[in-house]
Amino acid sequence: MAQPVLPLSDVRIIAFSQFGAGPFGVMQLADLGAEVIKIEDPTTGGDVSRSVPPFRQGNDSLYYQSFNRNNRSITLNLRAEGARDVLHDLVRVSDGVFSNLRGDQPERLGLTYERLAPVNPAIVCCSLSGFGMSGPRRAEPGYDYLFQAYAGYMSLTGDPSTPPAKSGVSVVDLSGGFAAALGLLAGILQARRTGRGCDVDVALLDVAVSMLAYVATFALNRDYDPPRLPDSSHPTLYPSQVFATQDGYLVIMVAKEKFWPPLCRALERPDLIDDPRFDSFDSRFRHREELVSELGGVFRTKPTAEWLSRLTGKVPCAPVNSVAEALAEPQVLARKMIIETENPAFGTMRHVGTPIKFPGQERQHYDPAPDLGAGTEIILRDYLHYSPERISRLRAAGAI
Q: What is the pLDDT of residues 303-319, one digit of tens each?
A: 999 999 999 999 999 99
Q: What is the reported pTM?
A: 0.94
Residue 2 pLDDT exceeds 80: no
Q: How confident is the model at residue 344 (pLDDT cuts 50, 70, 90)?
A: confident
Q: Report pLDDT for 150.
A: 97
Q: What percent of the chain has pLDDT over 90?
A: 96
The CA distance from 363 to 400, in Å, is 31
Identify any residues that bridge with 201 across adjacent strands, giving them in sequence order: 127
pLDDT band (50, 70, 90) for residue 3? confident
Give the largest CA-CA distance in the chain. Answer: 85
Mean pLDDT of the chain: 96
Extended strands (E) in 108-179:
124-129
Q: Distance from first CA to last CA of the chain, Å, rounded?
A: 36
Is the domain covering 12-211+336-397 a CATH 3.40.50.10540 domain? yes
Left (φ > 0), alpha (ψ -120 to 50) or beta: where does 294 sit? alpha
CATH fold, domain 230-320, is: formyl-coa transferase, domain 3 (3.30.1540)
Q: Which of 234, 287, 365, 385 is catalytic?
A: 234
> Is the pLDDT assigned to residue 182 strictly greater than 70?
yes
Confidence of residue 371 (pLDDT cuts 50, 70, 90): very high
Give me the pLDDT at residue 63, please. Answer: 96
Residue span(s) of the chain under CATH 3.40.50.10540 come to 12-211+336-397
The residues of the chain that CATH labels 3.30.1540.10 are: 230-320
The 3-state DSSP class for residue 248 equals coil
Q: How many CB atoms lie within 10 A of CB 20?
A: 21
Average pLDDT over residues 169-185: 98
Rounded CA-CA distance 37/378 in Å is 11
Does 128 have pLDDT greater than 70?
yes
In the residue annotation, 234 being an active-site residue is answered as yes
- pLDDT the model gives residue 4: 87
pLDDT tens digits, one per residue of 317-335 = 999 999 999 999 999 999 9
317 and 311 Cβ atoms separated by less than 8 Å:
yes
